[in-house]
Structure 1
Amino acid sequence: MKTEDLNKIKKMEVDEITEEIKRMHDELMEDKKFFPESLLEKLDSEKALQEIFEKILKDFKHHIYKEEKILFPYLINLAKAARNEIPFEKPYFETVVNPINMMQSDHESINDATERLKILIDDELSQKKINSAIAEKINDIIEYIRKVIYLENVILFPKAALLEKKFLV
């Protein structure tokens, strides 16, 4: 990610960052730019690679679902409450730190799996078992996932926890 893009995101409000990450989720999982599902079919002859990649996609989809159904609506409302657009409502999960910890645990698992996948891809490429174009597309997906995780862990989550502290004192 370019430094200027990163600086722009750092200056955004929590709800704006959240919306940007939702857009990135959509781009990754639904856009024709990546088309991860079609890559799975192309990996049919390499079962180990296919299984790890399929598990990463499944885990990431589940992770996105949890974020977009539980955490993100709260973050958007938290930002609105900070601007006095709506009243603050304490979440049923007590504090944003609880779902953040769960999301960060997911991130660790996903990062571990993407690291294993990268190693396997490099091995398969060196043995000429997979097409370099397919390997490049998978690596692009891995990098995109890592970028989203970075934005959440390093920018969004700390900013949201700090914002919430203003209400929970």
Structure 2
Amino acid sequence: MENMNENTNQNRFNFKVNESITDLVSKNYVYAAVLHYFGIDFYNHAHQTLAQTCAEKGIDATVLIKQLEEAVMKRKFYESGKAINQKISHYPIQLVIEYLKHAHRIFMRRSLPYMSKLVCDCDSNGFEKQYKSIIEDLKIAFPLFAEDFIHHIFEEEDSLFDYINLLDNAFYEKIPMTKVFYPMQEHSISRFLRQHQQDDDEMKGIRELTSNYKITSKTPLLIKVLYSELKDFEEELKIHADIENRILLPKALKLEVKLKQNIIEKSKFN
């Protein structure tokens, strides 16, 4: 593994297989997440080189480096949230829902477990007083946030998404109109929209606890990575909420209005 070829050394982002894991992560905190998914917690291999760590773990370095490169590109893609929204705005409503459900799975299966591990692995005894207090509070606050967030996801899928799918199926006559009549008495897209806008700032407590994810030159690298992940996650949630509030719910509201009009028109002939 130490004798990697020149193609591995010469890559788009100039990864050097002989640099330490600490130096690698210090360049871009998103690399820590990629290493984690390969079974490498950077803080446990801080002084090893990329080549040494890959050899120890039996990892193909070329595959790992490719994933590191892709992580940078994905981050740039997420930073262009407006472009994402513009593309999704043209999707049919059921495809928008599938996109949002896919994002939910990533949040629950990757983002939350990774951030939770970072919080758990932060040894507050090794930090200065200011960070010791924050980490101790985060170890209480973050699991509560994650639990509430997951509950919100399931509730949203079981109520809002199911209702919108029902509206869509009824409008395109995939199901009888009678199957949507009573759910429309119980639910309202306008009410969903109001509630959703009120609940959008889900990370307010975490943000305030970390002083807006404040990082200085003296901040320990593990804290820098954790704060970076929390901040990036909040940005992803903003994009996610924007898709729901500006694309999904307006589409659903139009659908609901048209269906009500159809029901009124049909009732005139009965």
TM-score for both structures, normalised by structure 1: 0.81
Match of 1:138 in 2: 230
2-structure distance, mates of 1:106, 1:11: 26
* Percent of residue pairs identical: 25
Would you say the 8 A contact 1:39–1:134 is kept in 2? yes
In the TM superposition, 1:16-165 aligns within 5 A as 16-31=95-110, 35-43=114-122, 45=124, 46-88=135-177, 89-90=180-181, 91=183, 93-108=186-201, 110=202, 112-113=204-205, 115-116=207-208, 119-122=211-214, 125-126=215-216, 128=219, 131-165=223-257
1-structure distance, mates of 2:163, 2:93: 10
Name the amino acid aligned to 1:142. E
Number of equivalent positions: 166
1-structure distance, mates of 2:175, 2:90: 22
Would you say the 8 A contact 1:29–1:36 is kept in 2? no
Computing the radius of gyration from Cα coordinates, the structure with the larger value is 2
CA pair 34-98 structure 1, distance change in 2 beyond 3 A: same
Q: Alpha-carbon deviations, 1:20-39, whole Å to 9, x = none?
A: 10100101111369723323
2-structure distance, mates of 1:33, 1:111: 13
**Partner of 1:121: helix, strand, or coil?**
coil
1-structure distance, mates of 2:151, 2:235: 19
**Partner of 2:145: helix, strand, or coil?**
helix
Name the amino acid aligned to 2:97. T
Flag as ranges the 4+ runs of structure 1 deviating above 6 A. Answer: none
Choose the corresponding residue for 1:5, options 60, 84, 98: 84
- What's the Cα RMSD here? 2.6
2-structure distance, mates of 1:167, 1:142: 35
Of Structure 1 and Structure 2, the greater helix share is in 1
**Partner of 1:84: helix, strand, or coil?**
coil
Would you say the 8 A contact 1:78–1:164 is kept in 2? yes
Larger RCO, structure (CA 8 Å, separation 6 or more): 1
Q: Structure 1: give runs of 5+ residues left out of the alignment.
A: none
Would you say the 8 A contact 1:71–1:99 is kept in 2? yes
Would you say the 8 A contact 1:21–1:148 is kept in 2? yes
2-structure distance, mates of 1:43, 1:101: 38
1-structure distance, mates of 2:176, 2:115: 40
**Partner of 1:70: helix, strand, or coil?**
helix
Higher mean C-alpha displacement, 21-30 vs 55-64: 55-64
Would you say the 8 A contact 1:25–1:64 is kept in 2? yes
